[in-house]
Each structure stands twice: as structure tokens, then as C-alpha cells.
Amino acid sequence: MPDYSKPLPTPDPITQPFWDSVKAHAMQMQKCAHCGKFIFYPRAVCPHCFSRDLKWTPVSGKGKIYGFTISHQKVIQAFANDVPYVIALVELDEGARLMTNLVGVEPDPAKIKVGMDVVVHYDDVTDAITLPKFKPA
């Protein structure tokens, strides 16, 4: 997949375990050992209680659409051929939220609902990077 032209993440030491976990198709997130909440994006401290005691923990990959948009904009060159496409914020059953693309469903507001059940779909976009996308459960 050498011709992948869309923006790719460059992991940093704190976020590397997340990117490693999605590459392994077994997503993990940090769970705070103090307040018990799952957090995302990965941090050095818990944004809920400021604890530094965060443990990488497997997550289910199941969740619900918290909000979404269907982009018809061609302003981002690399995505211009994809319009219309769906960008969603998914709230995992564990409580943490992440931005993603919704795949496996028409980009039609009649077919996508806030609150709809979705499940992770690992998209191996390059040899190094896998993006966690979601599809209807």
C-alpha cells in the first residue's frame, strides 16, 4: 500500500501502545487505576482525576455513535475523491470516545443514527499503521 496519500499519525512514546494495539487488531486504551475511567487520547495523566497511574487495558471495540457528520467538502485534498464520507465520534462501551470513519454503510443520514451500535473495523492502511474504523454492529 505505498500509494496511501491520506494523513497518517506519527506515534509518540505515550501513544505508541495504542497504535501497536490497533495494528495487532486488539485495541487497548489506558484505564485509570485511581478513578477507574478509561481515557482517550493517551496521556501522561488522567484528565478526570490527574492520577499518573494509568494501565493499558483491552477494550471491547463495541460502542455507539455519539455524533457524526457526512462531509461533502473537497478541501482536504487527500479525501476529495471520497466525498461524501462519514466521520463519527464513537463512544465505546467502556466510556472513552474516539474519532473515526464509519464504513460499511451508505453515507445517508436516513441510515445512520446517533446512538446506533457500531463495532471496530481495523483498516490496515499501510504496513506500519492500522486505523480503527467502525461499522454498524
Partner 1 sequence: MNNISGKVVIVGVAESDQIGIVPDKSVLQLHAEAAHNALNEAGLSIKDVDGIFAAGTSPMETAEYLGIVPKYLDGTSVGGSSFVIHAGHAATAIANGLCNVALITHGESGRSRVGAGGFPQSPQNMRGQFEAPFGLPLPVGAYAMACSRHMALYGTTNEQLAEIAVATRKWAAMNPKAMYRDPLTIDDVLKTRWVAWPFHLLDCCLVTDAGGAVVLTSMERARDLKTQPVAMLGFGESIDHSMISQMRDFTSGPAKISGKQAFEMAGVKPSEIDLAMIYDSFTYTVLLSLEDLGFCKKGEGGAFVSNQRTAPGGAFPLNTNGGGLSYTHSGMYGVFTLIEATRQLRHDYQNEGIRQVKNAKLAVAHGTGGVLSSAGTAILARA
135 backbone dihedrals φ, ψ, rounded to 5°: -135, 160
Q: What residues line the site for partner 1 (CB under 8 A)?
A: 6-12, 15, 40-41, 66-73, 75-76, 78-79, 82, 84-85, 87-89, 97-101, 109, 113-115, 131
Nearest approach, Cβ of 131 to partner 1 (angstroms)? 6
Query: Of 2 and 12, which CB lies nearer to partner 1 in the complex structure?
Result: 12
Nearest approach, Cβ of 24 to partner 1 (angstroms)? 18
Query: Of 15 and 57, which CB lies nearer to partner 1 in the complex structure?
Result: 15
Nearest approach, Cβ of 75 to partner 1 (angstroms)? 5
Q: What is the DSSP letter of 102?
A: B
Query: Of 55 and 74, which CB lies nearer to partner 1 in the complex structure?
Result: 74
**Among candidates 94, 95, 89, 93, which has minimal Cα distance to 132?**
89
Nearest approach, Cβ of 98 to partner 1 (angstroms)? 7
Q: State how far the Cα of 4 lies from the Cα of 82, in Å rounded to an integer.
A: 13
Nearest approach, Cβ of 88 to partner 1 (angstroms)? 8
Query: Of 31 and 88, which CB lies nearer to partner 1 in the complex structure?
Result: 88
Distant-in-sequence contacts of 122-128, Cβ < 8 A, 24+ apart: 122/22, 122/25, 124/1, 124/23, 125/1, 125/4, 125/6, 125/8, 126/1, 126/4, 126/8, 127/1, 128/23
Query: Of 58 and 67, which CB lies nearer to partner 1 in the complex structure?
Result: 67
Q: State how far the Cα of 122 lies from the Cα of 103, in Å rounded to an integer.
A: 11
Q: What is the residue type of 129? A: I
